[in-house]
Amino acid sequence: MLGGRVLADYLAQRTHALVAETVQTVWQRVPFYRSLPEEAIRTDVTAIVRRNLEVFIATVRARRVPTDDEMAPIRESARRRAEELVPLADVLLAYHLGTERWWAEITELADTGDTEELAWVGAWLQIHLRAATSAVLAGYGSVRPGPGQDDAERRALFVALTSGADAAAAAERAGVRLARMYWVVALHVAPHPDEQSADVDVIVAERRKVRRLQRELDGVGRDDAVSLVDSGGGGALIPVFEAEPGPADWPESVQYATLRRNLADLERGIGAGVLSAVCAAEPAGIPEAYTLAREVLRVARCHGRTTGVVRLADLALEYQLTRPSAATDPLARLLDPLDGRAGLSETLECYLDSAGDRSATAAALHVHPNTVVYRLRKVAELTGLEPTAVSGAVVLTAAVAARRGRAVDPVRGD
């Protein structure tokens, strides 16, 4: 006999398998879902299918309609799909395919004498589908075309603060109270693996990454941060919350230690490498600080940094050596004799970056230590500078810094 409790118990026992079968059906029959990152299918899509089925089981068991609270996760999921440009028609089709799959499961369970109960369950499934459809429409309706007004005003505040414009007026429009001091952060974000997959829609992957980055920055700034970011990075201004004696960005500063830890967590939160350069400044000093942070970020990148958090103090020598001067080109030209000679420039740079450790250089380059010794001798012969001597290493370090400084665009840092 097919009854509400019997059916609910059966579906509850079958939840794991039925969710997997539903996700597979959606993936196979809705083309857009095949362009989503595998992670999205494995996590977001699977989670909302499970939630949807659990709500249906609960309402069947109690013979009641779904509550607003029960449908809230479906609205939120739909809002995220709208932000990622998933077509509304495809999302609705996914819900219809899901209910079709559940109906097929239910009819297989029914006996010949369950006609009345089967009709009741079918009607209840339609009630659930209408509730889910309404939740999806509400989720899509909550997303305006393009960025929301609040987002636009916060971006305008970021531009005002970093350009030296009237920040007070921009802050009032954004509903933000200016902090006494800000962390001024320049960011570079590496591509997420999904952005480089031929099976994934690049726009969807980029928007997912940007949404996560924005959410993570909001968390670091306790929702008081202002930022301007895209899939490659950008900038953020994060209030310094607790006052301490001395500069906020001292290495021993509690605020800096907390910020460093939170910024390092960005990489895990968005699933892509993040390199952050940080300064601290009062609102009036933000334009100069942001320019400096971007330049420190540029220097960090041209010296091989890909992740982590850096300040000027961490790269003071590299920064100074890459400042344009009359000596920059002559220093860079000291390495011209190494051009076209396999492995010499690479070995020299790796040796200098490894603080003169030949074993570490060999391990990093996957060569025998004797190969490193041979290449360093060739560097000395060709340049007239001995890498293993202090005087030669100092000049060669400056030459490498000068050449690296010319290799990266001074404005964009890429």
Kindly report the CATH number assigned to the domain that includes residue 39.
1.10.490
Given a cut of 50, whether residue 90 has pLDDT beyond it is: yes
Based on the fold, state whether residues 201 and 307 are members of the same structural domain. yes
pLDDT value for 247:
53
Based on the fold, state whether residues 277 and 353 are members of the same structural domain. no
Structural domain includes residue 262: yes
Please tell me whether residue 235 adopts helix, strand or coil conformation. Answer: strand
Average pLDDT, integer, range 146-166? 77
272-328 per-position pLDDT tens digit: 999 999 999 999 999 999 999 999 998 888 878 889 999 998 888 778 777 777 777
pLDDT value for 148:
40
Cβ neighbours, 10 Å, residue 263: 23
3-state percent breakdown (helix, strand, coil) of the chain, nearest 5 = 65, 5, 25
Average pLDDT, integer, range 202-220? 82
pLDDT value for 150:
54
pLDDT value for 208:
78
Question: pTM above 0.85?
Answer: no
pLDDT value for 149:
42
User: If you ran DSSP here, which 8-state letter would residue 224 be given?
Assistant: -
25-66 per-position pLDDT tens digit: 998 888 778 777 777 788 889 999 999 999 999 998 888 889
Q: Which of 118, 142, 166 is the last residue of a domain?
A: 142
CATH of the domain at 278: 3.30.70
pLDDT value for 24:
92
> What stretch of H or E contains 309?
strand 308-310
C-alpha angle 172/175/180, rounded to 5°?
75
Residue 339's domain comprises: 324-407
pLDDT value for 182:
92
Structural domain includes residue 73: yes
